[in-house]
Amino acid sequence: MKMTFRWYGSAIDPIPLKYIKQIPGMTGIMGMLDKRAGVDWPEEEIRALTEEVSAAGLECEVIESVNVHEDIKLGGGRRDEYIANYISTVRTLAKYGVKVIIYNFMPVFDWLRTDLKRVIPEDGSNSLYFDEKDLGEMGPLEIVRRTAEDSQGFSLPGWEPERLSLLEETLRRYESVTPDDLRTNYKYFLDAVIPVCEEAGVRMACHPDDPAWPIFGLPRIAHSQSDFDKICALHDSPANTVCLCTGSLGSDPANDIPAMIRHFGSKDRIGALHVRNVKHLGYRHFREAAHVSEYGDLDMYDIMKAIYDTCPDSYIRPDHGRMIWDEQGRPGYGLYDRALGAVYLRGVWEGIERSEKK
């Protein structure tokens, strides 16, 4: 298991690499460049990022949020141009030692919440919160406005302002798109990109829909085991993998997360994992929780054991968690609770490792 930490780059991440290095068990980061979807990431910036990370004694083998342009998802007129840029980015990342690229195929929105700092009454911390009822009342424009306001000036992954400025137009373009249409366009993308990944030694890892159901009537095709079976079958290759995000999939209590890890892990189809906990509050209603099993509804021992048994060499990162100790930071990406989460997960791992070796 390689324990990593999400890092946005020194220009926009308030957390210095040396703090990440000080978290016990940390081997590397899941890095990114803050780029619009569709852009070919400049080699100079990729080189600078990977050099900075390795100078800090950490690895940069996973890159996150190489976002897919809506034209690719919609099968629009300029998709070949955007796919060519994507392929060029894949090649450059591989050249600088990147082994896994995390992306998603969610129409319009990346992850979505109705409150970015809902106070947890039990301890006074706050965390990301979602209630489908509130979503219905707000509608897409209002949710974007509130998310921007609540993010307190921090950029949020997948919420690039340029893309959201086209929100109404993009929503209209999706009106007639069915899940099968989306899968057809997805296959077109994978058929072009995966052979390049195989040649370059990189794996693509698709992040699930978050939350794990359709929102605003948009087609969503990545929120259950059978969805990901279909995605893997669109272009069957060890380079076409799942980013198994326990919290995104776990927002739907019907998803059995340890079983899904075993299913995809035993087929070598997990490229990376995001590990976090959620507390179910009702129908399509949840909040994010401390990583520790008893504080949420996901069993972290069963999750880590499934990883240990089926894909023990995976890249993992603690995800989200709460904002604690009055930390002011990018919602979902505070330092403290993610660091506690990482060390807790490392502890669970140590326990499993020792008892298995007896």
Per-residue interface string for the shown chain with ligand DNO, residues 327-356, x marking contact by CB under 6 A: -----x------------------------
Select from 99-107, 137-145, 146-154, 287-295 the region that touches ligand DNO (CB under 6 A): 99-107
Q: Do β-strands 285-289 and 277-282 pair in parallel, antiparallel, or remain unpaired? A: antiparallel
Distant-in-sequence, close-in-space partners of 266: CB < 8 Å, separation ≥ 6: 310, 311
d(CA 275, CA 258) in angstroms, rounded, equals 11
Mapping DSSP to helix (H, G, I), strand (E, B) and coil, where does residue 70 land?
helix
Asked if 89 touches ligand DNO (CB under 6 A), the answer is: no
CB of 308 to ligand DNO, least distance (A): 23
Residue holding tokens 């897409």? Answer: 140
Asked if 41 touches ligand DNO (CB under 6 A), the answer is: no
Q: Which of residues 47-76 bind ligand DNO (CB under 6 A)?
A: 64-65
Of 69, 79, 99, 207, the residue at the interface with ligand DNO (CB under 6 A) is: 207
Of 113, 223, 274, 284, the residue at the interface with ligand DNO (CB under 6 A) is: 274
Q: Which of residues 148-177 bind ligand DNO (CB under 6 A)?
A: 157-158
Considering the candidates 60, 232, 243, 245, report the single residue annotated as catalytic: 245
Contact call for residues 28 and 58 (beta carbons, < 8 A): yes
Residue 291 a catalytic site member: no
CB of 117 to ligand DNO, least distance (A): 15
Amino acid present at 23: I
Contact call for residues 108 and 174 (beta carbons, < 8 A): yes
d(CA 128, CA 199) in angstroms, rounded, equals 39
Considering the candidates 71, 210, 252, 319, report the single residue annotated as catalytic: 319
Select from 89-97, 100-108, 217-225, 277-285 the region that touches ligand DNO (CB under 6 A): 100-108
Dihedral (CA of 324, 330, 332, 336) sign: negative
Distant-in-sequence, close-in-space partners of 66: CB < 8 Å, separation ≥ 6: 32, 41, 86, 89, 90, 93, 101, 102, 103
Question: Phi-psi category of 332—alpha, beta or left, where left has phi over 0 and alpha has psi -120 to 50?
Answer: left
Contact call for residues 296 and 279 (beta carbons, < 8 A): yes
Residue 285 a catalytic site member: no
Q: Which of residues 276-315 bind ligand DNO (CB under 6 A)?
A: none
Select from 96-104, 195-203, 286-294, 305-313 the region that touches ligand DNO (CB under 6 A): 96-104
Which lies closer to ligand DNO via its Cβ, residue 116 or residue 306? Answer: 116
Instruction: Could you list the beta-strand ranges (E) of 267-322.
Output: 270-275, 277-282, 285-289, 315-318
The residues pairing with 103 across neighbouring beta strands, listed in sequence order, are 206
Which lies closer to ligand DNO via its Cβ, residue 65 or residue 114? Answer: 65
Of 86, 103, 109, 130, the residue at the interface with ligand DNO (CB under 6 A) is: 103
Select from 39-47, 70-78, 104-112, 287-295 the region that touches ligand DNO (CB under 6 A): 104-112
Asked if 102 touches ligand DNO (CB under 6 A), the answer is: yes
Residue 280 a catalytic site member: no
Asked if 255 touches ligand DNO (CB under 6 A), the answer is: no
Select from 18-26, 103-111, 138-146, 227-235 the region that touches ligand DNO (CB under 6 A): 103-111
Q: How many residues bind ligand DNO (CB under 6 A)?
A: 12
Residue holding tokens 């880590």? Answer: 304
Residue 274 a catalytic site member: yes
d(CA 225, CA 231) in angstroms, rounded, equals 10
Contact call for residues 128 and 118 (beta carbons, < 8 A): yes
CB of 48 to ligand DNO, least distance (A): 21
- Cis link prior to 214 (omega < 30° from 0)? no
Asked if 110 touches ligand DNO (CB under 6 A), the answer is: yes
Using CB under 6 A as the criterion, which residues of the chain lie in contact with ligand DNO when the complex forms?
64-65, 102-104, 110-111, 157-158, 207, 274, 332
Q: Which residues are catalytic?
A: 207, 245, 274, 319-320, 333
